[in-house]
Structure 1
């Protein structure tokens, strides 16, 4: 069975830490067969993992990492994660906020995120230099840190989209200038490749979150991963409150399916 969808071709994932302007066009894709595992996933219960946060309480299906390091509250149908003191997802440091659910295989997770100031929630996060809210896929059984994420907020003191890969507690990250603390973000796994996307709140065309590195190649990451929202600020007094407006979990079969909505 052939789907009229495509996969990414001819991209070299060179890791950079510069701030190119976000919004480079995505390259074309090539057709790809649907596998038996794809068919199994199509029938899978991904939608049961979705959470619109309208209940005003944290559903017990969420696993809460480092609960003492950040607050979790609900305001107007949004989950708000607020780091308390120094927290971080970098190298072997794993003190940041993370709510997760287990997912299997190819998946895309999506959320509308606002990285706002605790002192003035109508404005973007201030201070710095790294204060971020985003989405993570993480190995649940590794003695060392192994994950990928896409996030929005302050990266190097600039409002940016940041993507990060950490393998055996060694991290590489890059960022693209964004100009606001608000974004709709998506993290999409296709086999061993993990694609990161961003677009403005309110919709529009999905673009690579960091065009210089559109995906991470991670054959080491297992079939089953922790997946969910993160928030952290490696400073004594973070100004970040990361607001999440609904999180969706959906199956994905190839790279163009990652942006199919």
Structure 2
């Protein structure tokens, strides 16, 4: 049976179990450390799921390797693509049951310098609610996810961190400045709260870059790495996800490179009762007036 989509002022996707054919996510009581990857092997570990291969979409990665382009790192170079509304791009993920704290050290650049070329050249972490759809039975307005990425956004040559939340394929985003180079990104899910954090100094303090509140009944999420870019030669056309998701413009020039030094999974420090009544009435991290210092104290270093 397909998940049910509720449309309205509060739109949430209900997915009570993984889609048919998917491997069961780790036990909700596991520490999740087994999902971590230092990318120090000769190839991508088999525990990673490629979104395109799993659900029948075309391959929108121009290049992918472990250790060849950058020693000890995963390297991704996408074709013209995007994660916005119903539009899809490359995504490597692992299935998680329950709350999580995922961190990754990433760098988004050009093949010729420290800043990615063009606009909307970004990569980082995403947490997506599985909807069970494949290329064959895809339908619009079923995307539900949140991410934090780094790279270049609206203005060429201006490094940014982008945070974006998408509810039933309606996307809302923020772009804020960041220094070019390596950035540590972090997504933490604690019940109905999801926090996006970043830091450029590995020994420095985390900064809360966004906070999301969604009464998401599904305990399952696809969590991992995304990368996307736009080509300066792409002609402006009306958005049509049904067409763009099923095609790859390999002739369009792109110049976006994403390096991933490592990605590490764990359970979050806060332990919150999962009953929905408690989530909406007494979740200690859901207070919109909660100071950043209190959030960082609760989530830990």
Q: TM-score, normalised by structure 2?
A: 0.66
Contact 1:184–1:198 (CA under 8 A) maintained in structure 2: yes
2:83 equivalent to 1:89: yes
1:63 and 1:87 map into 2 onto residues whose CA distance is 19
What is the deviation of 1:192? Answer: 1.2
Moved more, 166-175 or 193-202: 193-202
RMSD between aligned alpha carbons? 1.9
2:134 equivalent to 1:148: no
2:104 equivalent to 1:117: no
1:169 and 1:175 map into 2 onto residues whose CA distance is 19
2:298 and 2:182 map into 1 onto residues whose CA distance is 20
Contact 2:32–2:265 (CA under 8 A) maintained in structure 1: yes
2:207 equivalent to 1:215: no
Partner of 2:46: 60
Relative CO higher for 1 or 2, CA cutoff 8 Å, sep ≥ 6?
Answer: 1
What is the deviation of 1:190? Answer: 1.0
What is the deviation of 1:142? Answer: 5.4
Alignment of 1:60-209 (within 5 A): 60-66=46-52, 68-70=59-61, 71-75=63-67, 76-84=71-79, 86-94=80-88, 96-120=89-113, 123-127=114-118, 129-141=119-131, 144-157=142-155, 158-209=158-209
Q: TM-score, normalised by structure 1?
A: 0.76
User: Which 5+ residue runs of structure 2 have no aligned equivalent?
Assistant: 1-26, 54-58, 134-141, 232-251, 271-294
The residue matched to 2:39 in structure 1 has which SS?
coil
2:183 and 2:51 map into 1 onto residues whose CA distance is 24
Contact 1:131–1:238 (CA under 8 A) maintained in structure 2: no
1:162 and 1:99 map into 2 onto residues whose CA distance is 19
What is the deviation of 1:256? Answer: 4.0
Assess, with a 3 A threshold, how the Cα gap between structure 1 residues 252 and 100 changes in structure 2: closer, same or farther: same
Alignment of 1:9-48 (within 5 A): 43-48=29-34
Moved more, 231-240 or 46-55: 231-240
Pairs aligned (count): 212
Assess, with a 3 A threshold, how the Cα gap between structure 1 residues 221 and 109 changes in structure 2: closer, same or farther: farther
Contact 1:139–1:221 (CA under 8 A) maintained in structure 2: no
The structure whose residues are more often strand, as a share, is 1
What is the deviation of 1:188? Answer: 0.6
What is the deviation of 1:151? Answer: 0.4
What is the deviation of 1:243? Answer: 0.6
